Amino acid sequence: MKKAFTNLAPIAGLLALIILYFVLGTVKDINVTYGLKTIFNQSVVVAVVATGAVFIYTLGSFDISLGASTAVSALVGGMIYLKTENIWLMFLTCIGVAILVALLNSVLASVFNLPVFVTTIAMLSVLNALVLLLITINGTGDEIAVPGSGVGFLDNTGFKLAVLSFYFLFCLFCFNFTPIGRKEKLLGGNPLCAKLTGIDVGKYSIIAFVLCGIGVGLGAFLSIVYAPTLTRNTASSVGMDVIIAIVFGGMPVSGGAKSKIYAALIGAFSMTFLSQIMVMLNLNSGVGQMVKAIIFLAVVFIAAGERSRKTLPR
């Protein structure tokens, strides 16, 4: 019963937020359909990146460089478009750069036997420096501007929904219906046991990062589509939003067996609905951040509480 409650709480939370959004919208006579589009546009990049990040979190690892990686991938993609005017090349570049960064992270962690968290801190600094460098060298000094005429036709809900759906279903398949997800849950739950069950720790860590890299690349591409003028602030909040979304969605921070691929989607949309509701209630952004922080702590507390109860003897 408690297990079912913990599993269903994030979904129930999202449903409650959606209902509250419609009730407030009706009471305050706000155009909820337009609002929904805004919510989707604000959520989609975080939802895509966070869905891939679930593979890393399942291992019990923690990547804080995802936002910076999205920015660098978008900037390099944008530069390629400016040089070739080929949207397909831009797309492939975004994906390629993101996978390359992910591979660097995982290989560094494997080679030096360091916690992923540590290598991603170093990577975050490098990527942030790279963002400034790329804008300075290849743009106007403040921005790299991809012409709206080149990518504007993709800036619609249908395309973004298709990208999100395709990637989510791909990840869902890998996570729930192939040995990849099972092995990563085992690695997150007990790496030593996983090794003694023939699971190659390094290999599955790299697979997790590559799958996440695809999500980062897609997120970078969608960022260009949504806001083609790329600045040092492009995707700047994505890194932190991904972490919050994953926890909001009910993903245990320790990874392992309770990891859920849908946690990212639930979390990303819950966060944006919550923000939108607070705007509707005319609460300032400071109060909004505090409410988010309180909910964040509550979710972690409930998840941790359930685990501690399970350690009691019979």
- By CB under 8 A, tell whether 183 contacts other proteins: yes
| Helix, strand, coil shares, percent, the chain, to 5 | 80, 0, 20
Q: Which stretch binds other proteins (CB under 8 A): 27-35, 96-104, 107-115, 256-264?
A: 256-264
| In the complex, minimum distance from the CB of residue 307 to other proteins, in angstroms, rounded to a whole number | 6
CA distance 260 to 249: 9
With CA atoms as reference, report the closest residue to 65 among 111, 104, 110. Answer: 104
- Taking contact as CB under 8 A, which single stretch among the options 153-161, 184-192, 229-237, 293-301 is the one that binds other proteins? 184-192
Q: Which of 43, 79, 258, 260 binds other proteins (CB under 8 A)?
A: 258
Contacts 24+ apart (CB under 8 A), 15-22: 17/270, 17/273, 17/274, 17/277, 18/273, 20/273, 20/277, 21/273, 21/276, 21/277, 21/280
Among 110, 138, 190, 236, binds other proteins (CB under 8 A): 190
Name the segment binding other proteins (CB under 8 A); options: 80-88, 96-104, 145-153, 178-186: 178-186
User: Considering only residues 179, 281, 294, 300, which one is a binding residue for other proteins as defined by CB under 8 A?
Assistant: 179
Q: Report if residue 256 touches other proteins, rule: CB under 8 A.
A: yes
Give whichever of 88 and 310 is closer to other proteins, judged by the CB atom: 310
| Tokens standing for residue 20 | 């509250």
- Shortest Å distance, C-beta 194 to other proteins: 8
**Please, which residue, 143 or 306, has the CB nearer to other proteins?**
306
Tell whether residue 231 is a contact of other proteins (CB under 8 A): no
Ramachandran region, residue 220 (left: φ > 0; alpha: ψ -120 to 50; beta: rest): alpha
Query: Which residues pair with residue 229 across a beta bridge?
Result: 145
300 binds other proteins, rule: CB under 8 A:
no
Per CB under 8 A, 194 contacts other proteins: yes
Contacts of 288 (CB under 8 A, 6+ apart): 274, 275, 278, 279
Give whichever of 44 and 251 is closer to other proteins, judged by the CB atom: 251
Name the minimum Å distance from CB 195 to other proteins: 6
The number of C-alpha atoms within 13 Å of 239 and in the hemisphere containing its C-beta is 21
Among 112, 158, 284, 314, binds other proteins (CB under 8 A): 314
Contact flag: residue 185 with other proteins (CB under 8 A): yes
Compute the least distance from the CB of residue 192 to other proteins, in Å. Answer: 5
Report helix angle 66-84 to 87-111, nearest 10.
140
Q: Could you say which DSSP state residue 256 is in?
A: S
Which two three-digit tokens encode residue 70? 């999205």
Q: List contacts with other proteins (CB under 8 A).
A: 177-179, 182-183, 185-186, 189-190, 192-200, 256-258, 307, 310-314
